Amino acid sequence: MEKRKARIAVLVSGGGTNLQAILDAQASGIIMSGEVTLVVSDRAGAYALTRAEKAGVRGIEINKKACGGQAAFEEKLAAALEENRTDVIVLAGFLSILSENFTSRYPRRIINIHPSLIPSFCGASYYGLKVHAAALARGVKVTGATVHFVNEIPDGGEIIAQKAVEIQPEDTPEVLQRRVMEQAEWIILPQSVEKVCAEITKV
């Protein structure tokens, strides 16, 4: 009998490069214990939804403003995840902060990728290029990426994996962002997704 695969929902806000890394890892066999069955964007027109469509994965938009607030947004999100029978939630460049009311429903089932070595340059005000700009402004020589479980504290959950990336003297935030994606994020996120899915499905 074929082993059950964990059902993965990927939450996105933008281009979906980390979503693509997960889809590619699924196609190449790095992710064997789970499959992406839903992509949710909190932004209209996010290219990540196009990536989902090309991969034959259902994609939906749930806009916080259109929902009229955090509680209604999280209820609609939870309903979509429930309908999808979601086992694992991956935040892949998802810019909406989720409340404790939401995260407590899914203990050790929500994972996030953050573009620094936590505890450096993390928390509610650090996301996207801001993280890389802060690392360069501070003059650190090494940065990287972290995959962690999500709890009620932004970037505060248990660390699953980290990978370091060296900073070069001529780096701009954009150049550094790309290198961190290529050398860290796109490697450790799929590996962490497989690890969490394997844990869930071994029961």
Angle of the 173-180 helix axis to the 129-138 helix axis, nearest 10: 110
Find out whether 31 and 194 touch, Cβ atoms under 8 Å: yes
Output 103-111 pairs: Cβ under 8 A, ≥24 positions apart.
103/150, 103/151, 103/152, 104/152, 105/78, 108/149, 108/158, 108/196, 109/196, 109/200, 110/149, 110/150, 111/147, 111/148, 111/149, 111/150, 111/160, 111/192, 111/193, 111/196
pLDDT at 90 over 60: yes
Q: Which domains does the chain have, with CATH numbers?
A: 6-201 (3.40.50.170)
Region of 91 please: left (phi>0), alpha (psi -120 to 50) or beta. Answer: beta
Mean pLDDT score of the chain, rounded to an integer? Answer: 94
pLDDT at 16 over 70: yes
107 prior amide bond cis, ω within 30: no
| Active site residues per annotation | 114
pLDDT for the residue 86: 97
pLDDT for the residue 138: 96
pLDDT confidence of 2, banded at 50, 70, 90? low
The mean pLDDT value for 9-19 works out to 95
pLDDT at 148 over 80: yes
The mean pLDDT value for 81-103 works out to 94
pLDDT for the residue 203: 62
